[in-house]
Structure 1
Amino acid sequence: MSDWLRTILYQIVFYTGSVPIVVGVAFVAPFGQRAVIRHAHLWAKLNRWAARNILGITTRIEGVVPEGQFLIVSKHQAMFETTELQLIFGGPAMVLKRELTRIPMWGWATRLYGSMSVDREASAKALRQLMAEGAALRAQGRSVIVYPEGTRVLPGETPPLRSGFAGLYKAVGLPVVPVAVDSGRVMPKRGAKRPGVVTVKLGAIIPPGLPRREAEQRVWEAINALELTPPVKGDAMV
């Protein structure tokens, strides 16, 4: 089967299967956030299944997934990691661009799941709101995941972190787990998807309370680790 045929079949299966899962949130919402999180992970598992069985894409984890409450900061090359990392890290709250939270039904579901919306223009008001929501999630015991480049980037691109990362890092006061991914190699934003292995490389934990420039530099280097050095074979496969 050609890459284009696999891509079309994947899209049919994933997006058709997504509809009842999103609608189903209304039925599980009365049972609380834990029920919503479990239900939402059906969507992530659907994407993992379709990627593996239709596209021939699997995930390799380099490093050990830590236990505890963290600020998870990830490279962003494809939609793939936005669901895959939810499964790997057990359902952290999400930082989303504001326009995503306005999608009918889906936006409501993300709020029930646990999310913060951020204005990519990074106005002072938006940053204050982000910090307040981040602090509230920490008080709830939730880990938080953010994609600090602000949007998907092409393989090889290493843009600076958006300014909102520094505010969130300060607000939540949590140790940081930096994550490098290379999903864009096999799941490009445009064009056919290709069989292969997506590497998820977990960097060394970065402590809270560092000066802004040091924290940003350490995170930037860690999430771009796969851009600077080739991935190694081995470690966990999921």
Structure 2
Amino acid sequence: MKPFLHLKAPYRTATREPAAFDAAFPDLSFYGSFCLIVFLASLKARRGLYGDRDWARSSIDTLRALERVGVAFEITGVEHLKAARSPFVIIGNHMSVMETSILPGIVSPVRPVTFVVKSSLLEYPFFHHVLRSRDPIAVTRTHARRDLKTVLAEGTARLEQGISVIVFPQTTRTRRFDPSQFNSIGVKLAQRAGVPVIPLALMTDAWGNGKHLKDFGRIDPSKKARFSFGEPLWAGGRGSDAHQAVIRFIGGRLEKWRAENAKA
């Protein structure tokens, strides 16, 4: 497999017109490809044969499927991942299922990685085999104190094993970034483990959230998918400075992107 990050960085989707069917039926085209990707990954995961390279391949295949229907990607700041000399905690906002599908293809070729996820996802049809194989950190999203203990204990264990951790501190996926709903659990984990924080700003609403099946919303090729990693931060003291720096980075990127979208 040719790792995604061996392509030119920063990464921007080459301009091209999608095929007629893909342009006319982006939802049907993409979800047909995506379900096949997940199904094949699940078969391997059930047999215990689904490793980091497979995860990255599935992720890249998903990115390509989105590009085929016209979704353009812009991915910047990857050099901060590549320059890190230790595992890290990535802290990002959470808009859609796109980030959990695409991030493994960006991060995994650089360093082993896992997610903090909602425990109910470990029972999700088909996908749960893949997710369980990645040894995620499962939280309830309803018991904050219990979730903090789980993340600190299990997250520190993963980081000590050389596995980086991706955290979305918002309680749910949303296009609106509200700093008051953005908790400091990721910063606390980085402090406990003695590793840096890497902020991550995301604009992934090209993959919408569905009304009945949240993971299967509309695909909107008119919206660009953007991923931006910031410079590593070390959380000193009580971690409030690092937490605010992450919030400023994400808020600043989102404001900049929305201004660019308004001009387009």
Return the TM-score normalized by structure 1. Answer: 0.82
Alpha-carbon distance in structure 2 between the residues aligned to 1:222 and 1:70: 17
Greater relative CO (CA pairs within 8 A, separation 6+): 1
Task: State whether residues 196 and 232 of structure 2, in contact with CA within 8 Å, keep that contact through their aligned partners in structure 1.
Answer: yes
Q: Among residues 149, 152, 159, which one is paired with 2:173 in the alignment?
A: 152
* CA drift at 1:85: 1.6
**1:197-224: CA deviation from partner (whole Å, max 9, x where unpaired):** 3221222221133423222211111122
Structure 1: which 4+ aligned runs deviate by more than 6 Å?
A: none
Counterpart Cα distance in 1 of 2:196 and 2:60: 27
The equivalent of 1:174 in structure 2 is 195
What's the CA shift string for 1:21-67, capped at 9, x where partnerless? 112113344xxxxx5222222321221111011x2123212332423
| 5+ long unaligned stretches in structure 2 | 1-19, 210-216
Q: Which amino acid aligns with 2:158?
A: L
Kindly report the root-mean-square deviation, in angstroms, between the aligned alpha carbons of the 2 structures.
Answer: 2.5
**Is contact 1:47–1:83 with CA below 8 Å preserved after alignment?**
yes
Q: CA deviation at 1:8?
A: 1.7
**Once the 2 structures are TM-superposed, how far is the Cα of residue 127 of structure 1 from its aligned partner?**
1.7
The DSSP-based 3-state class of the residue aligned with 1:57 is coil
Partner of 1:140: 161
1:105 CA displacement: 5.3
Which among 106, 121, 126 is matched to residue 147 of structure 2?
126
The yes-or-no answer on 1:48 pairing with 2:69 is no
Find the aligned partners of 2:171 and 2:254 in 1 and give their Cα distance.
18
Which letter does structure 1 place at the counterpart of 2:238? Answer: P
| Partner Cα separation in structure 1 for residue 237 and residue 76 of structure 2 | 25
Given that 2:73 and 2:224 are in contact with CA atoms closer than 8 Å, whether structure 1 keeps it comes out as yes
Q: Is the 8 A contact 2:196 2:234 kept in 1?
A: yes
Decide whether the 8 Å contact of 1:199 with 1:231 is kept in 2: no
Please give the residue correspondences for 1:1-150 in structure 2 after superposition, counting only pairs within 5 Å: 1=20, 5-29=25-49, 36-53=51-68, 55-63=69-77, 64-67=79-82, 68=84, 69-90=87-108, 91-104=112-125, 106-150=127-171
Q: Read off the aligned partner of 1:170 and give its amino acid letter.
A: Q
Note closer, same or farther for the CA distance 1:174–1:221 as it changes in structure 2 (3 Å cut): same
Task: From the superposition, tell whether residues 123 and 182 of structure 1 become closer, same or farther in structure 2 (CA, over 3 Å).
Answer: closer
Q: Evaluate the alpha carbon distance shift between residue 4 and residue 187 of structure 1 in structure 2; reply closer, same or farther with a 3 A threshold.
A: farther
TM-score, normalisation: structure 2: 0.75
Task: State the distance in 2 between where 1:45 and 1:192 align.
Answer: 17
The CA distance in 2 between the partners of 1:70 and 1:231, in whole Å, is 28
With over 3 angstroms needed to count, the CA separation of the structure-2 counterparts of 1:108 and 1:70, relative to structure 1, is same
1:220 to 230, 243, 247: 247
**More deviation, 133-142/19-28:** 19-28
Partner-residue secondary structure (3-state), 1:66? helix
SS of alignment partner, residue 236 of structure 2: coil
Residue 135 of structure 1, CA deviation: 1.0
1:163 to partner: Cα distance: 5.1
2:226 counterpart residue number: 199
Structure 2 equivalent of residue 32 of structure 1: none
**Conservation of the 8 A alpha-carbon contact between 2:114 and 2:165:** yes
For the residue of structure 2 that corresponds to 1:224, the secondary structure is helix
Change in CA separation of 1:122 and 1:163 when aligned onto 2, cut-off 3 Å: farther
Q: 2:184·2:243 contact (CA, 8 Å) conserved in 1?
A: no
Q: Percent identity?
A: 21
